[in-house]
Amino acid sequence: MTTTVPTAGPTPTPATTPVPAAGPAPAPVSGAGSTAVTTGPVSAAGLTTVTTGPVAAAVPGGGPGGFDRLLEAVVGERAAAVRNVPATLTCFTDHFPRHPVLPGVLLLESMAALARSAAGPGTWRLAAVRGVRFKHFVGPGDQVHLTVEVSAHGPHRTECRATARAGGRVVATARVLALVSDETTREGTA
């Protein structure tokens, strides 16, 4: 599988990690049947080609709801990632000024971005979320370890269980994150 990732242009947001245009290749993605990630040359448009084997190339979700580093991705089985929570996120000024807390919806979006990596190639959108529990606060400076396990996988629908841990304890879980392929016809359309 080959994915093209921009390596030049505007400065990325703190939650994104661009693929380096020069230097050593990124660390291999571990897991059964996975292969190392290798980078190709930089094109005239400033793009680097990222090539992987059976494991999908997962580019962090970007923005405040993505993740920073993919640790593992086995398509149709599981994925793991790390999300750093910098104190510079604008949500901390209003949520809440004296006790800053990462909004739960941003943590849920990080889980959904990781679920897309586990679902494999293609464009996946979040269709349903069931059984979400927020157990502890996540604040500035925390590092959240996200894990997703695929419970059902098909060409048009994937369902996952997700867990977020920070400081050695579970901070959030989602019993079901249902993703559907963008190729799936939406209800009420032809």
Catalytic-labelled residue, pool 95, 136, 145, 153? 95
Q: CA 119 to CA 140: how far, in whole Å?
A: 30
Q: CA 141 to CA 176: how far, in whole Å?
A: 28
**In angstroms, how far is CA 21 from the centroid of its own chain?**
22
What's the 3-state SS for the chain?
Answer: CEEEEECCCCCCCCCCCCCCCCCCCCCCCECCCCCCCEEEEECCCCEEEEECCCCCCCCCCCHHHCCCEEEEEECCCEEEEEEECCCCCHHHHCCCCCCCCCCHHHHHHHHHHHHHHHHCCCCEEEEEEEEEEECCCCCCCCEEEEEEEEEEECCCEEEEEEEEEECCEEEEEEEEEEEEECCCCCCCCC
Q: Is 99 a catalytic residue?
A: no
Catalytic residues: 95
